[in-house]
Structure 1
Amino acid sequence: MDARTLHRATVDRWQQLLDGVPDDAWAAPTPCAEWDVRALVNHVVGEELWLPPLLAGRTIAEVGDRFDGDLLGADPKAAGRRAAGAAAEAGEGVADGQRVQLSYGEEAASEYLMQLAADHLVHGWDLAAASGQDRRLDPELVDAVAAWFRDREDMYRAGNAIGPRATSAGDPQAELLAAFGRTADWSPG
């Protein structure tokens, strides 16, 4: 699965889960201990908002702080829909060989899409777990992200981008979650 296809599929799944968040779940805890549901959604929406300008050739400095703070406003689902739509459209337009400027330097735009696809998939699971939705991930998406992440896990952990590896029951979804520092049986209580 190429980066554009994977990115689109994970954004679409994220949006389905966001649309399914119950009105009373925004303050619920998530597997990301520092975030409740609203903060988790705000994080992903922020990543989605960064994608179009960076793919258009802007630098981190040029974008500045416009995506800091609360990006959800009074209607988090609508804000999420707008951001996801813009991110999906921008991702589909990535050209072979395109480069992008990220916080750590120049990177292949396809690698950036893979990073965001992984984030959408894993944070989608976080959102499902926190809001009482179906936690099952598409096995094809799990396999694609796991194959990409296998050679990057140590680097992500060393950079404090993910927590310690968790123990796993051994199935592919549980293994992917463990690689990202989560246990498949997480519960809020």
Structure 2
Amino acid sequence: MELLDCFDRALDEFGSRVHAVDPGRWHHGTPCAEWSVRDLVNHVTGEHLWAPVLLSGATLEEVGDRFDGDVLDDDPVGTWDRAAHASKEAFHRPGALDRPVHTSGGPVPAGDYARQMISDLTVHAWDLARGAGVDDRLDPELVSEVHAYTAPRAASWRGAGLFGPPVEVPRTAPLQDRLVAMLGRRP
């Protein structure tokens, strides 16, 4: 699958679940123990507010704290939609994937940044579905792409505290279950 097609699908997976959140479930828990549904959507929305700025060449210091705290205000769905739209436009801008992007881990190729965002969107779409009580089945092709990207990096990401220890599942479990289990979630 082409990188930008993968990115678009991951945005759609997460976005469809944002739109499916029942108003009474925004404060329900998610598989990310410290985050409610709203906290999770705020986290991912914040990342996508950063994307256009970082893809334009800004450093973390130049961005500062402008996307800290609650970015959702009174309109979580609308704020997500605006952030996702701006992020998609930024990733699709001609030449956007040709330069490095400044991240907390240092400068990385924009393609790697896109893959990290795809992985985050995909896994958090599952987390959001679980917290919101909606369908958690993800696009199988997207799951395959994310699994292939994250499997060789999972141990180092886990060491950096990005997620908990893996959950044991049978080797014959569906790939989606193996993906979320590898990232510390109980399918």
TM-score (norm 1): 0.94
Does residue 88 of structure 2 align to residue 85 of structure 1?
no
**Structure 1: gaps (5+ residues):** 185-189
Q: Which stretch of structure 1 is more off in the superposition, 95-104 or 66-75?
A: 95-104
Q: State how far apart, in whole Å, the 1-side matches of 2:17 and 2:153 are.
A: 26
Q: State how far apart, in whole Å, the 1-side matches of 2:20 and 2:94 are.
A: 29
Contact 1:94 1:109 in 2 (8 A): no
Identical counterparts, % of pairs: 42
What is the deviation of 1:2?
2.8
What is the deviation of 1:162?
1.5
Partner of 1:36: 36
Partner of 2:6: 6
Q: State how far apart, in whole Å, the 2-side matches of 1:150 and 1:28 are.
A: 29
Partner of 2:136: 135
**Structure 2: gaps (5+ residues):** none
Partner of 2:68: 68
TM-score (norm 2): 0.95
Q: State how far apart, in whole Å, the 1-side matches of 2:94 and 2:166 are.
A: 32
Q: State how far apart, in whole Å, the 1-side matches of 2:18 and 2:94 are.
A: 25
SS of the residue aligned with 1:183? coil
Query: What is the count of residue pairs matched by the alignment?
Result: 184
Does residue 181 of structure 2 align to residue 178 of structure 1?
yes
Partner of 2:103: 102
What is the deviation of 1:94?
6.1
* Cα RMSD for the two superposed structures: 1.1
Q: State how far apart, in whole Å, the 2-side matches of 1:146 and 1:87 are.
A: 23
What is the deviation of 1:8?
1.3
Provide runs of 4+ in structure 1 moved above 3 Å.
94-97
Partner of 1:23: 23
SS of the residue aligned with 2:101? strand
1:10-64 C-alpha deviation (Å, 9 max, x unpaired)? 0112111101100000010100000011100000001100100000000000000
Q: State how far apart, in whole Å, the 2-side matches of 1:80 and 1:7 are.
A: 16
